[in-house]
Amino acid sequence: MAVSASPTVARDPDSQAVGSCALTFDDGPDPVWTPRLLACLDEQGARATFFVMAGRAAAHPWLIARMRAQGHEIALHCVRHIRHTEIDERTLRHDTRSGLRLLERLGVRVRHWRPPWGVTTAASRSIAAELGLELVRWDLDTHDWSGDSADAMHARVASGMRAGSVVLMHDGLGPGATRSDCRETVRLVPALLATLRAVGLRPAPVRDLRP
């Protein structure tokens, strides 16, 4: 069964967007699932932000090139997917600088940084300021890593979508994931796009987010 937008919201195709909502994806790029999400977003005329694991990005430069060509924002997640509370400041600085260098080699200049699990410390904030990065979390979590259905995930976040909202999803399988693929995330995206547009919002990368 196809996932549908909330039945309580009627879409007005002539309505003007009054704000934007960011769909964001962590833990990629993945050679199987990221292309499917990119195709889905392209079909819907939507742009998003991909918080990439820099080593995976370096291993799949064609996916980074495709993201850029489609107008998506590429941002930093990490090199090593470790909570900032579990590493010292020197190690964290090295990981972050290494990730930025890997992405620079792919032609990407990063503005936004999402730490693994969204966990930040005083060191995170200090390094972000030092490197000119803005830390980004989220206010709507699909919990797609857990293997829930697209219908369940849509029900979890749809009513909370507001101007300025940031939705967390994953286009890769990271540490802690209890699912074996990203199939339900691919199914979820069109429903989220329909819902946000129905309430007069437009999808936008974090860099263009408008409350």
Q: Which residues are catalytic?
A: 26, 170
- C-alpha 36/C-alpha 181 separation (Å) is 12
- C-alpha 198/C-alpha 182 separation (Å) is 25
State the residue for tokens 């993945």: 30
> What's the helix, strand, coil split of the chain in %, to 5?
45, 15, 40
- C-alpha 9/C-alpha 142 separation (Å) is 20
Chain centre to alpha carbon of residue 97: 21
Q: Which residues of 14-52 are buried (b: 16+ CB within 10 A; e: fewer)?
A: eeebebbbbbbbbbbbbeebbbbbbebbeeeebbbbbbb
- C-alpha dist (Å) from residue 145 to 21, 51, 148, 182: 21, 15, 8, 8
